[in-house]
Structure 1
């Protein structure tokens, strides 16, 4: 019988330092981070719209029905411009959509709990996750901008802890 040995590579010191810096930036500047992400998204949507418009105009003379593609490109470009003009609103809207999704998922989990005839451990987990999802969704919907800031802070804490753990792992080498 052949023995396969998998060598696990330790993460680099640079990974830990980058994770710590990323975490610190998120913790020190959560609002700026949210706005930056929204701006990057707005630029991507605007460029996607411009590309779609250019593609539609390119096939205009070939007989291909380009109007749908042109309309799609114009809508995307306008949406990108709106996001660039109001990045805070775009971020809050995005968090609100996540909140609605969380409420729907929570409702499905709770519904499945009541539909399971034998509500054992899995059923109880379904009920618990459903309730937590409903609560999280409500928090995200009723306070989207603060919730997005909270999410960024949680990611910052995670990155900071991850970076510190990478430094500790590399220290033991």
Structure 2
């Protein structure tokens, strides 16, 4: 009996969003960079509020709060406000943060592809190459944040393109 192949809709949607983000980055790099900074600022503020709310919920339930959650929440809010009020600082800092994000995602991807060897050699090599390229890009960004800030839209566009393709392939190729 042949097993029915199912599309991974969540992975497909994420992949398409990554591809759209890549093409927006390529089409209008200056606006994309400012948008990244603003979105990161808003996201940092929302994350900070979530961490602070989480701190008080845990404290209410258990009688003790995780102080690190409170401190992290306040720092997230301050970083978010800094990004929203000073785009230049946000662009520079974002270069470093994106470098770290890309490095973390690439290392995670490399550490998780071992299972593909037994399933699909082609898929294994594709993921290996894409994650190595992302790793190299992350290292280059990390060691030169000024260049990273100036070329971020293109680099982020390439990153979004690589991971968009990975998500779409994963969505269509069920293991």
Which TM class, normalised by the smaller chain length? 0.3 to 0.5
Mark the structure with the bigger radius of gyration.
1
